[in-house]
């Protein structure tokens, strides 16, 4: 840390920080995570944290990371769409944060930890969303470096890559919540698994990379809330986007879903959030009611079949897959041959720490390089004649 950044905390701010810790003990539920419980790999001195509590500091570090900035042009579901009202990754992340903090407030949980996990949970997403994730995973497997998963990559960015390889030294609870956010997995009830350390965390990262089906459970109730909120944030919003694009009609939503959850994003979010609060209040777990959970499961299946697998959503899939392959192979060759004029040297690896270079193989470096790209930056790696054109 630069000495010019070190300052003495005025006594009044010290007292205010202590009063915030005292307030947590007064208002938090027994299921909450206290800020003083935040644990990092490298302890930080008070002058580095200032008057911010542990998870508030984490949220700030994530929000000001370069990877967070790139959320602005990353696909949520629909890409290459000429419509400013279609959800991008940055909006999804903001929605997850807001929904999760609303739930956390009523359950008397730590909203700072919730915000940190929510803001960072999708930072490892590739350009072009889950499609891009599948294509990059195939290339990583072929290169012998295992599966690519965006939640594992989120940890990679925040812990190993940001700040030119130094990482942000985030709390274990924050990193664990990000790793375990799997919003695509359906859970009616989630109870935290609190007995974790950095050693068990690293073991879970390795296990998930080896087996993408490996089930992860957050160590905090706040992490469980974010996982539920991830689903709540995207499930109705994806419906609205699909309706706006003419991929389906509102009347296509099955009556069994409409009766329980409604047929608009606003109603769906309200009913899901309300149900979680009602079924989780004063409990050591986070849960939907069985009826709401069953309806949500049916809605997920409907979205999968009618939206995510819809041919109209995959017009450019073959082209995007081909470009991923071209870029991975091209940058890997340039890296291995030492072509210092390549973008991967001049932009990505410029001033990178020696520790990052020593700990990562060429395919792993190319993986990190591609995963961090926005959609636009990815496409601009190719001449215009090879790029797919905007649709709808």
| DSSP SS3 for 19 | helix
| Residue 21 CB burial class (10 angstroms; 0-12, 13-18, ≥19) | middle
**In the prediction, which pLDDT does 86 show?**
84
Q: What backbone phi and psi angles, to 5 degrees, belong to 372?
A: -80, -5
How many whole angstroms separate alpha carbon 182 and alpha carbon 192? 14
- 345 pLDDT tier (thresholds 50, 70, 90): very high
Q: Quote the Cα angle for 169-174-177, to 5°.
A: 140
Neighbours of 195 (CB within 10 A): 7
User: What global pTM score does this model have?
Assistant: 0.94
Q: Which helix (H) or strand (E) holds 287?
A: strand 286-287
H helix intervals, 128-264: 129-142, 150-156, 162-165, 172-179, 198-210, 221-244, 255-261
Neighbours of 237 (CB within 10 A): 20
**In the prediction, which pLDDT does 1 show?**
45
Q: Quote the Cα angle for 27-275-182, to 5°.
A: 85
Instruction: Find, among 216, 202, 206, the residue nearest to 145 by Cα.
Output: 206
Neighbours of 63 (CB within 10 A): 14
* 51-55, 132-136, 260-264: least confidently modelled range: 51-55
287-312 mean pLDDT: 95
Whether the CB-CB separation of 93 and 122 falls below 8 Å is answered with yes
What lies within 8 Å, CB to CB, of 377 at 6+ separation is 73, 127
Residue 391's beta-bridge partner residues?
Answer: 81
**In the prediction, which pLDDT does 8 show?**
66
**In the prediction, which pLDDT does 6 show?**
52
- 47 pLDDT tier (thresholds 50, 70, 90): low
**In the prediction, which pLDDT does 77 show?**
87
The predicted-structure confidence for 61-91, as pLDDT tens digits, reads as follows: 999 999 999 998 898 888 888 777 888 899 9
Neighbours of 3 (CB within 10 A): 5
How many whole angstroms separate alpha carbon 152 and alpha carbon 175? 10
How many whole angstroms separate alpha carbon 287 and alpha carbon 187? 8
How many whole angstroms separate alpha carbon 300 and alpha carbon 47? 47
Whether the CB-CB separation of 152 and 205 falls below 8 Å is answered with yes
Crossing angle between the packed helical segments 221-244 and 172-179, to the nearest 10 degrees: 40
DSSP label at 8? P
157-162 mean pLDDT: 96
How many whole angstroms separate alpha carbon 235 and alpha carbon 231? 6
Residues in the chain: 392
How many whole angstroms separate alpha carbon 240 and alpha carbon 184? 18
Whether the CB-CB separation of 373 and 352 falls below 8 Å is answered with no
Decide if pLDDT at 199 tops 70.
yes
Tokens for 262, please give them: 């409604």
311-317 mean pLDDT: 88
**In the prediction, which pLDDT does 250 show?**
96
Q: Which helix (H) or strand (E) holds 326?
A: helix 317-337
CATH number for domain 55-313, candidates 3.30.1330.10, 3.30.70.141, 3.90.380.10, 1.10.3210.10? 1.10.3210.10
| Block residue for tokens 């957050």 | 218
194-219 mean pLDDT: 95
Whether the CB-CB separation of 121 and 93 falls below 8 Å is answered with yes
How many whole angstroms separate alpha carbon 181 and alpha carbon 123? 12
Instruction: Find, among 320, 177, 201, 306, the residue nearest to 252 by Cα.
Output: 306
Whether the CB-CB separation of 168 and 68 falls below 8 Å is answered with no
The predicted-structure confidence for 160-196, as pLDDT tens digits, reads as follows: 999 999 999 999 999 999 999 986 788 999 999 999 9
**In the prediction, which pLDDT does 191 show?**
97
The domain locations on the chain are 55-313
């Amino acid at each position: 840390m630069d000495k010019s950044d070190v300052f003495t905390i005025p006594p009044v701010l010290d007292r205010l920080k202590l009063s915030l810790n005292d307030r947590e003990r007064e208002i938090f539920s027994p299921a909450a995570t206290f800020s003083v419980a935040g644990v990092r790999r490298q302890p930080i001195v008070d002058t580095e944290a200032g008057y911010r509590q542990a998870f508030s500091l984490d949220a700030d570090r994530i929000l000001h990371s370069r990877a967070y900035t790139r959320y602005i042009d990353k696909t949520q579901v629909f890409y290459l769409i000429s419509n400013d009202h279609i959800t991008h990754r940055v909006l999804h992340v903001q929605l997850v944060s807001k929904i999760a903090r609303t739930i956390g407030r009523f359950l008397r949980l730590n909203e700072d930890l919730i915000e940190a996990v929510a803001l960072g949970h999708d930072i490892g997403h590739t350009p072009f969303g889950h499609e891009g994730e599948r294509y990059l995973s195939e290339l990583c497997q072929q290169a012998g470096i295992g599966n690519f998963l965006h939640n594992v990559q989120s940890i990679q960015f925040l812990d190993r890559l940001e700040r030119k390889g130094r990482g942000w030294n985030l709390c274990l609870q924050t990193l664990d919540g990000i790793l375990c956010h799997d919003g695509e997995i359906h859970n009616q009830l989630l109870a935290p698994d609190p007995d974790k350390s950095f050693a068990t965390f690293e073991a879970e990262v390795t296990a998930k990379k080896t087996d993408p089906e490996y089930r992860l459970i957050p160590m905090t109730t706040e992490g469980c809330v974010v996982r539920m909120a991830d689903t709540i944030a995207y499930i109705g919003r994806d419906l609205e986007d699909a309706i706006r694009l003419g991929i389906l009609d509102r009347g296509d939503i099955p009556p069994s879903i409409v009766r329980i959850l409604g047929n608009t994003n606003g109603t769906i979010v309200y009913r899901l959030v309300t149900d979680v609060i009602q079924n989780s209040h004063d409990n050591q777990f986070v849960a939907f009611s069985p009826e709401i959970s069953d309806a949500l499961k049916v809605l997920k299946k409907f979205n999968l079949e009618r939206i995510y697998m819809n041919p109209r959503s995959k017009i450019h899939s073959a082209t995007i897959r081909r470009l991923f392959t071209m870029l991975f192979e091209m940058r890997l060759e340039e890296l291995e041959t030492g072509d210092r004029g390549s973008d991967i040297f001049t932009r990505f690896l410029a001033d990178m720490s020696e520790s990052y270079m020593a700990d990562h193989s060429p395919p792993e470096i190319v993986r990190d390089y591609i995963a961090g790209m926005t959609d636009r930056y990815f496409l601009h790696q190719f001449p215009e004649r090879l790029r797919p054109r905007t649709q709808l």
